[in-house]
Amino acid sequence: MTTMTETLDTGTERASAVEIDQVSKVFGEGPGALTAIDGMSVSVRPHEFVALVGASGCGKSTLLSLVAGLTRPTDGTVDVGGHRVAMMFQEASLFPWLTVGANIEIPMRVNGVPRARRKERVAELLDLVRLSGFARKRPHQLSGGMRQRVALARALAQDADVLLMDEPFGALDAMTRDILHDEIERIWRERSLTVMLVTHNVREAVRLGDRVILLSSRPGRVIEEFTVEEERPRRIDSASIASRAAEITDRLRAEVARHAG
């Protein structure tokens, strides 16, 4: 039986913010069916930053879609315990005809937030992502990094407890990406968010994650988990991060080679 369950608020914090239990996802039917995820189980603690890495096509993005409720598992359960979930994609996907402020307001409009409160909230969020004074700008007037900050503010406008990030830094240059790493870490701490990040960049995963989960080639399964114990703040070019990333990369290469063989 496939279910998406919620836990009532009892005044105590659950042991996990996201619980994925023996989840499988199959696309299509019959001989052409494609199994993207097979019997995957992942538990994410409240306020934990978890990074998911694996070869292309291993089901990382599919897993985030399941947690976000954008699609449902074929088998197994995804339990977010009643937490609010927001998702941030690789592309900022801002509406070009709207101002920055109007783009951020979209989820609040959907939720019926009064206009005055929307304006206040936009100002708060722009300050949080360090874009104060940009509410009246259009997306084309912003750099790629700034557009991603706006996308982050729009995700946070949903007052989510769980933030899902699907390669949001992949299209950015190295310096912009490094700056945004610092920013997302700061916001994660300030807002006590639970974050699940999908990335192809193993160093990025180690730089940001409390834990790195390595997925197998299709169909996606959890094959190993790595706890990142380096103290924060971290630098992506530090020797300790490079060493840990190399260890995970070697394991990933072995998995890719096994699948190719």
Question: Domains in the chain and their CATH numbers?
Answer: 16-83+161-261 (3.40.50.300), 94-160 (no CATH)
Residue type, 56: S
Task: Kindly tell me if the per-residue pLDDT of 4 is higher than 50.
Answer: no
CA distance 157 to 167: 20
The percentage of residues in the chain with a pLDDT greater than 70, rounded to a whole number, is 93
In this model, does residue 259 exceed pLDDT 80? no
Q: What is the pTM of this model?
A: 0.90
Per-residue pLDDT reduced to its tens digit, 16-47 = 999 999 999 999 988 889 999 999 999 999 99
Res. 9: pLDDT tops 70: no
Residue 7 has pLDDT above 80, yes or no: no
b or e along 58-81 (b: 16 or more beta carbons within 10 Å of the residue's beta carbon)? Answer: bbbbbbbbbbbeeeebbebbbbbb
Q: Quick one: pLDDT at residue 15? A: 84
